[in-house]
Amino acid sequence: MGCGNTTSTGTKDGVTEKARVTFVLGGPGCGKGTQCSLMVERDDFVHLSAGDLLREEQATDSKDSKLIKDYIKEGKIVPVEITCNLILKAMQKKGMSKKFLIDGFPRNEDNLQGWNKVMNKHANVVQVVFFELSEDIMLERIMKRAETSGRADDNKEAAEKRFNTFKNETMKVIKHFEGKKMVHKVDATGGIEDVYENLKDGLIV
């Protein structure tokens, strides 16, 4: 396991700087992307969405395109070598001294181990934001998004698969970080500004 072999980190006065990372997790359709956009505008974060990076990679016709497409359609988690490599490259492009929101990652044990193996020397994880929302509302939001997103997995059938992946795999990662007292749990039920208020209360910026 592992991802990429690039070694560049930010430097300041000759001292190597590590990226400051906030993981952003929650079930599909819970509003991760929406809230990340607000944190970019208001709190000076740089936002990287693992799902967006995978969709971009899929669209380039690279050697991993077909695999990514198949995994996304099934709501399964792509092997970390692919995802982590895309994240690292994107972080390096932005400059490693930034504070990053990494949205939709780590989604399972494989993601977490791959990150630890390759990224611990490049980045410090400072907190994990967990948006909590009922499946009913997540499905409502996904079906609303489906009207414009064009995403192959924004439909009821794929959403059910993604809910299962979330419950069976991602919740374990959240529990792991809860054990380390790193999780900031946010009620994602209300409107965009209500959720942002809940988020700000306890967010490390």
Interface residues with Mg ion (CB under 5 A) are 33, 49, 51
Residue nearest to ligand C5P (CB): 51
Q: Identify residues 109-148 at the interface with ligand C5P (CB under 6 A).
A: 111
CB of residue 145 to ligand C5P, shortest distance in Å:
10
**Residue 138 site contact among Mg ion, ligand C5P, none (CB < 5 to 8 Å, cut-off depends on kind):** none
* 26 lies in the site for ligand C5P, by CB under 6 A: no
In 10 A of CB 110, how many CB atoms? 18
Which CB sits closer to ligand C5P, 69 or 97?
A: 69
Dig out the tokens for 69 from the structure. 């497409």
CB of residue 6 to Mg ion, shortest distance in Å:
25
* 77 lies in the site for ligand C5P, by CB under 6 A: yes
